Amino acid sequence: MTGHTAPTGVDSNALAEEDRDRFSGLPARQQPDWPDREVLRKTLDALPPQDLVSRASVAELRRELANLDAGGGLILQLGDCVENIETDVNASTRNMIAFLTHFRSHLRTRTGRHVVGVGRLAGQYAKPRSADHEIVNGVSLPSFRGPIVNSHQPTPQARRPSPDRVALAHAAAQTSYAAIADYHRATANLDPIWTSHEMLLLDYELRYLRRSEGDGHHLATAHWPWIGARTRQLDGAHIAVAATLSNPVSVKIGPDTAPEEAAELAAVLNPRDEPGKLTFIARLGHRNTDRLGPIVRSVHRRVEHVHWISDPMHGNTVQGVHGFKTRHVEHIITELTQFQEIVVAHGRRPAGLHLEATPEDVHECTENSHEPQDPARYRTLLDPRLNPEQTARVLSHWSV
């Protein structure tokens, strides 16, 4: 399959010094406080230079997204909040691929629409946190920032940012991409699955940003990066990097997004107003969906081509009574339903959904007030995920 030719790009066209300097001069939120930046630099320099994703595959995804509206197609993006790299990564990748392709065909069968399948996969390793410290078992510790930075184990030593983990995470990504390539070889006539993660850890991402003459820089760590709700500042480094990319880009839109700010983001990230280039992922919370209408109106006064998808997870996180962070499936469904109604009411097309979900039989999200309480069935490293049954229930509320 042309889109999944083995990546060949190596360091020959790595990002030029002046680009790197421009980005590193801009404010960047949510970056770890590395104990020794020189060690980090050496680790990054020693990483294998090969692209994890090829330019050809990114171009294929761009074409698929550019044609999405014409065919009324949908986007189904799902996976873990954060991938666990201290496990059998080949097996967990294969399981996630099977889960994603199962629900992709489920949604396709039910809606009769083409569905683009995107995993939070093969690089979802860095996490933004609302606080620098968190209380675990009554003790204050530096927050877990994802396995590419520190360990989730609750000790001060484990929570120290370690460049060794960058190398481990990169090796996990290679293992995941090898499993994805195996899948594509075995199913040559089926639709490809695409990878995505939050483009958060700039030192790492810049290591795999490639120069190009034509259509923007190539980010070789994921087909489809997104910018999180905490790092989408218009004057910040994350948006500046995203604005240079040839990859399609998404941005999370939280309840604190001013309509004018969203319009400006659209103009900066999709300056040529190309179909499929930019996706906004609304994650407002079921009580804040009334903020979506003004945002949609404001954005479409500036650009025509934006895909709107719903992340009904991240605005609906609550502290459960048994001490586990949870999300109520009923709130998730309310937000998803209102999202579709509001986008349609504004004359636009709801283009799909973004979920945190796992093939494992976990109990992390709450249904009918039945809150998680069994540590053996609460396995997420960070945010609560839908199990397969809950995923099916949420998807059954996709109605457009």
Residues of the shown chain interacting with Mn ion in the complex, contacts defined by CB under 5 A: 81, 383
Whose Cβ is closer to ligand PEP: residue 79's or residue 320's?
A: 79
Residues in the chain: 400
- Residue 128 interacts, among Mn ion, ligand PEP, none and using kind-specific CB cut-offs from 5 to 8 Å, with ligand PEP
Whose Cβ is closer to Mn ion: residue 258's or residue 318's?
A: 318
- Residue 228 interacts, among Mn ion, ligand PEP, none and using kind-specific CB cut-offs from 5 to 8 Å, with ligand PEP
- Residue 152 interacts, among ligand PEP, Mn ion, none and using kind-specific CB cut-offs from 5 to 8 Å, with none
Q: What does the radius of gyration of the chain's CA atoms come to, in whole angstroms?
A: 20
CB of 156 to Mn ion, least distance (A): 24
d(CA 161, CA 148): 9
CB of 212 to ligand PEP, least distance (A): 28
d(CA 99, CA 395): 13
Paired residues of 224 in beta bridges:
none
Element holding 21 (H helix, E strand): helix 17-24
Task: Answer yes or no: are the C-beta atoms of 224 and 245 closer than 8 Å.
Answer: no
- Residue 104 interacts, among Mn ion, ligand PEP, none and using kind-specific CB cut-offs from 5 to 8 Å, with none
d(CA 117, CA 78): 8
- Residue 395 interacts, among ligand PEP, Mn ion, none and using kind-specific CB cut-offs from 5 to 8 Å, with none
- Residue 252 interacts, among ligand PEP, Mn ion, none and using kind-specific CB cut-offs from 5 to 8 Å, with ligand PEP
Q: Tokens standing for 304?
A: 């025509």
Counting DSSP H helices and E strands in the chain, the numbers are 12, 14
- Residue 60 interacts, among Mn ion, ligand PEP, none and using kind-specific CB cut-offs from 5 to 8 Å, with none
Among 124, 245, 94, residue whose Cα is nearest residue 195? 124
Whose Cβ is closer to ligand PEP: residue 110's or residue 133's?
A: 133
Using Cβ positions, the residue closest to ligand PEP within the complex turns out to be 228
CB of 383 to Mn ion, least distance (A): 4
Q: Which residues bind ligand PEP (CB under 6 A)?
A: 81, 128, 198, 228-230, 252, 283, 314, 383
- Residue 239 interacts, among ligand PEP, Mn ion, none and using kind-specific CB cut-offs from 5 to 8 Å, with none
Whose Cβ is closer to Mn ion: residue 43's or residue 390's?
A: 390
CB of 82 to Mn ion, least distance (A): 7
Q: How far is CA 308 from CA 47, 107, 283, 365, 384, in A?
A: 36, 17, 11, 24, 23
CB of 350 to ligand PEP, least distance (A): 18
Angle at 149 between CA 143 and CA 155, to 5 degrees: 45
Among 246, 195, 182, residue whose Cα is nearest residue 223? 195
CB of 1 to ligand PEP, least distance (A): 29
Whose Cβ is closer to ligand PEP: residue 210's or residue 252's?
A: 252
Strand segments (E) across 197-339: 209-210, 218-219, 226-227, 249-253, 278-282, 307-310, 317-319, 325-327
Q: How far is CA 152 from CA 36, 95, 360, 363, in A?
A: 20, 22, 20, 20
CB of 380 to ligand PEP, least distance (A): 11
CB of 229 to ligand PEP, least distance (A): 4
Whose Cβ is closer to ligand PEP: residue 230's or residue 302's?
A: 230
- Residue 229 interacts, among Mn ion, ligand PEP, none and using kind-specific CB cut-offs from 5 to 8 Å, with ligand PEP
d(CA 33, CA 26): 16
Whose Cβ is closer to ligand PEP: residue 184's or residue 314's?
A: 314
Whose Cβ is closer to Mn ion: residue 104's or residue 314's?
A: 314
Whose Cβ is closer to ligand PEP: residue 207's or residue 314's?
A: 314
CB of 231 to ligand PEP, least distance (A): 8
Please spell the DSSP secondary structure of 184-216, one letter per residue: HHHTTTSPPEEEE-B---HHHHHHTEE--SSSS
